[in-house]
Structure 1
């Protein structure tokens, strides 16, 4: 299952259309691809706090927009995608992802290294995960204090690279862990790197997770704030003050873009064209477009595919923009050549929508 549906745009960040089952398969695919091609891939677990950090820091927002996968690690992100007209299947929490990946390691032989956390939490996590998933291939290193994630001691980086991991989980908290991954991933040479924040703290019970019923209601953040009011109360209050007004402004902008151009996808052999066409043009499927699946198959099929994006003088609606983003991200992952015609001249192209596609 490789990106069966286009991503959803939330504040211009492409949130991958995956659920808690398919996300593990997708990460294993990226790890395999990285080993085969000698490439590295970054996965971000995006919650409201992360989006708010990005809104206040262009470098953080660029990391999110250029990641290979962004996961909806928070129900407000899922709700926002639904409000924008591009619903996601469910929340994919980093705290759930870690044990799922360790379970996949026991099943597939995937090698996982976890970097970060305290020495005590690392020791307890190691014992707990070995007990739950015998045969899993993983290691945990709490590592030293990392004041500046862009400047890390060479010995620390060498020790991570020496693990030979397929997947690196970095537990430094956002946005420090994402800066660490972006800065060092090529040197580390690990196929997939994922920021997982305080997932080990939750795994060991150092920090308590909300009951399942509270999680299903999307109120885990309220539960956590009640558990740690001094640490989280002020942060969440700030996040709400920033997130809600920005969401309302973005909803108004999205409505204004709904009459923007649609995207017509055609696949001829190994040539893929993604052309902006007037809204409502014949033969364009806004939902469940069979041509999307054909394009994905062509990009991921291992052949000599090429992707051309054209716009003329048209500007996209958000669904068209999300499809372009999804195709470009996939093309990057698989080494497919991407060319464009007229994209830089869009009256409000993907960059003003918040996407930095590098095309």
Structure 2
């Protein structure tokens, strides 16, 4: 009897079940590719593996935009095992894993639970913080166009991966101040700084796209963004994950942030960031850059985002800073109308009047 048989016998005696975990290998990857190709052929699409169009199509599968392929009653996927192969294949070739899979995101956040907080809503809405929220939302509307792309030239445009960059811009418009500076060439892998800046004279060895910009990964990547705001600083409350729109609505308000995570072999990887821009009695509405096709979405109902069995929301309640308005009197009368942190929605008086001297305090 060889060593392997002895080990198996011992495990059997001890009552340990031997169920090898399914793994995506060359055979199952080929199977997934064939299933996807049959769907492509049935739709008359002209998409070749390895092209940019194919990557965009893979992202559409990850996002659940092809229910005929991955939804209930699919004529292409026969069982859960085949569905897992298709989704893992799409995740692999979507480019998301290569972009966001190496940031060592800890899976320590619990499920969001309204019961833990009773009837209390944690968002403190007052004049100063609501102004920051309003400014962030206004910025999101200004620099997004549904079905197209709208980009602020004062910032880099990361194309089909612009979602967190866009939300960071909205947070800055809401009153948050950048922290840190670049190290000479493009991105700096950090969650303790948060910045983006132009780099008009990069060193000769800094080549490729975006060589004229420097930024922190906390500015442009979902997990470092959440890490910077909620864990490295007290700028946000991480309420945890949920698949429930009603739970998201309980915790969040317009101006807050929602991220989407994908389960990859037991690990949850954040791959998308959105800002809440509106709400009603039943839903939250999110605005973001870079949907599966690389376009913007404006006021997309959260309930219409298909999570399937392998995605979930991360809820991030933003604690906007209080804005202090200090209008300055100009020589010609009037004011600058500019505050310390963001535009002043309440115009200052056009004419400055000297205060009247106080009279004597009346006797008792």
Normalised by the length of structure 1, the TM-score is: 0.20
Larger Rg: 2
Normalised by the length of structure 2, the TM-score is: 0.20
